[in-house]
Structure 1
Amino acid sequence: MSKQDLMEEDTSWDLWIRTRDPEAGDILVQRYTPLVTYHVQRISSGLPRNVSRDDIMSLGLHGLFDALTKFDPSRDLKFDTYASFRIRGTIIDGLRKEDWLPRSSREKSKKLEDEITKLEQKLLRHATPEEIASHMGMSVDDVYQTVHEHYFSNVLSIDEKVNDDDDEGLKSFVIKDQETKTPEQRTLMTELVGDLITKINELNKNEQLVLNLFYTEEMTLTEIGEILSLSTSRISQIHSKALFKLRKLLASEIVDGGIL
């Protein structure tokens, strides 16, 4: 950002904070819209195809405006950080309220999980996506997508809310059991981390790299695609396949096992 742009942004912030000047507000919205786009891309990677990207963007922009309205520059907190919590929180709350995954999809997801369990009990090992697809009479891509949606719906089911009275005005994640972890839970968590490391090391190089760039470096699927010279859809497929391979640990242990 040039010196002139910085001066314009500082002036806009001053006008917005003091007088809620509409023009200054528009300038700030334009300045931080790329931040909204970033979070929309990351969250959308786990959503089914029927969810409109425009609807997610609209929720994100609403979160940005909420952040602009409530931000207190006197606090020792960068606006980018504050806005990120508000943007993500608004999108996730909106998705939950709209019940983005239809009942039919939830039933399909539950049936798939049940059938995978039955198939693996019969095989006495983890079933491959191809074996599951053949067993269910569906395509391999549908298997990946359904498992991905099931995992993301579990993430959204965590009880979250925005606590406006929080000292930092940030997103508060409220999970029912706030008590200190028991020795058994700590032991289970240690074992889980070890299992995850082992399982991740069993993924191929592309799958490991995509997971690392997406979850550790917090890059979007589009950015990862540019690095690997692959299309966004191809990166999304690699991401889904990697999560599928880790599904037992990620979905069952973390979400259903009470480790959180």
Structure 2
Amino acid sequence: MDIDSLWTKYAKTGDKEVKKLLIENYIDLVKIVSGRMYNFYGSKIEYEDLLGYGILGLIDSIEKYDVTKNIKFETYAQIRIKGAIIDNIRKLDWIPRSLRKKSKEIQNAIYQLENKLGRTPTNEEIANFLSISIRELESTLSDISTFNIASLEEIILSNGDFSTSLQQENARPEEIYENKELKEILIESLNILTENERLVISLYYYEELTYKEIGHIMELSESRISQIHSKAILKMKNYLKKKGFDENLWR
């Protein structure tokens, strides 16, 4: 039975054996997404755990996918697979409280300095504001990089993806509009970034390159790419805050 026939039969019957065949057909998609996210999180999370979370996302995708909507399943499923992985990682609460505190402190420093200076503060200015050394600031930016990956992925996939909203049968028109608006503001926030920051965000999230690959392109070290990424995310968070979005959307 070909894939279209499987979908047609599953849509009509909800047959468990057909669902099993659909899972087997798309399992490689889970492996691809899990592998990419393992590169993001490194040794902090086991690949098998990511794969397990991703399979839950695939099953959820199959159960909720509407074949009558003009959205390709692979696109829809990839969003839900990533979302399931991020949701489960977040439940683990593996980010140390001290790291969250440091992230908030740096974010607040950038926010206050931007308002005072009317421009993006340099690392030296941020370090001086926090009364820490440049080395300590850069080390912290590197440490919070993985934390920020989860944050941005979550806000894009859980709150800002328009195609996901269209797939939700119970989505209210105002929810769809709010999600669309948030996605637009998020894209708009890229304009406040430096050229290097925009390039890192683009290559990392849209081209899905690793820090090592981005570093090779930009002729910078992996740690430097990590620092640029973290600072960019904190600036984007502040932009959303200024636009009136609840910061709890992005923790």
User: TM-score, with normalisation over the residues of structure 1?
Assistant: 0.58
The share of aligned pairs that are identical, in percent, is: 23
User: Cα offset for 1:64?
Assistant: 0.4
Matched, 1:242 2:228: yes
For 1:85 and 1:105, locate their aligned partners in 2 and report how far apart those are by CA, in whole Å. Answer: 28
1:145 corresponds to:
143
Aligned with 2:99 (options 79, 101, 105): 105
* Distance (whole Å) between structure 1 residues aligned to residue 171 and residue 99 of structure 2: 29
The secondary structure found in structure 2 opposite 1:220 is coil
Q: For residue 30 of structure 2, what is the aligned residue in structure 1?
A: 36
Match of 1:135 among 130, 133, 136: 133
Of 87, 90, 94, the residue aligned with 1:96 is: 90
Match of 2:81 among 74, 77, 87: 87
Deviation string 1:193-218 (CA, Å, 9 cap, x unpaired) is 4x8446433x2xxx655433334xx3
CA distance, structure 1, for counterparts of residue 136 and residue 167 of structure 2: 48
* Counterpart in the other structure of 2:167: 168
Provide the aligned C-alpha RMSD in A: 5.1
Contact 2:79/2:157 (8 A) holds in 1: no
Work out whether residues 48 and 145 of structure 1, in 8 Å CA contact, stay in contact via their aligned partners in 2: no
Contact 1:221 / 1:236 at 8 angstroms: preserved in 2?
Answer: no
Residues matched between the structures, number: 226
Q: Deviations over 1:110-153 (max 9, x none)?
A: 355567789999xx951259968971764845432325525744
Q: How far apart are residue 21 of structure 1 and its match?
A: 4.8
Determine which of 2, 15, 23 is the counterpart of 1:20. Answer: 15
Cα distance in 1 for partners of 2:156, 2:140 equals: 25
Counterpart residue type for residue 240 of structure 1: S
- The TM-score normalised by the length of structure 2 is 0.60
Q: What is aligned with 1:253?
A: 239
1:48, CA displacement in angstroms?
7.5
Describe the SS at the equivalent of 1:76. coil
- Equivalent residue number for residue 204 of structure 2: 214
Are 2:57 and 2:82, in contact at CA under 8 Å, matched by a contact in 1? yes
- The answer as to whether partners of 2:211 and 2:225 remain within 8 angstroms in 1 is no
Cα deviation, residue 61, structure 1: 0.9
Partners in 1 of 2:238 and 2:5 — Cα distance?
51
Match of 2:45 in 1: 51
Superposed CA deviations along residues 29-55 of structure 1, whole A, max 9, x for unmatched, are: 233233324443555566575233332
Residues in 2 aligned to 1:51 and 1:129: alpha-carbon distance in whole angstroms? 34
- Stretches of structure 1 that go unaligned for 5 or more consecutive residues are 1-6, 182-188
Q: Secondary structure at the match of 1:77?
A: coil
- C-alpha deviations, 1:164-206, integer Å up to 9, x for none? xx7633796998x95xx9xxxxxxx7xx94x8446433x2xxx
Rg comparison, structure with higher value: 1
Of 56, 60, 77, the residue aligned with 2:54 is 60
Secondary structure at 1:221's aligned position in 2? Answer: coil
Structure 2 unaligned regions, length at least 5: 160-164, 246-251
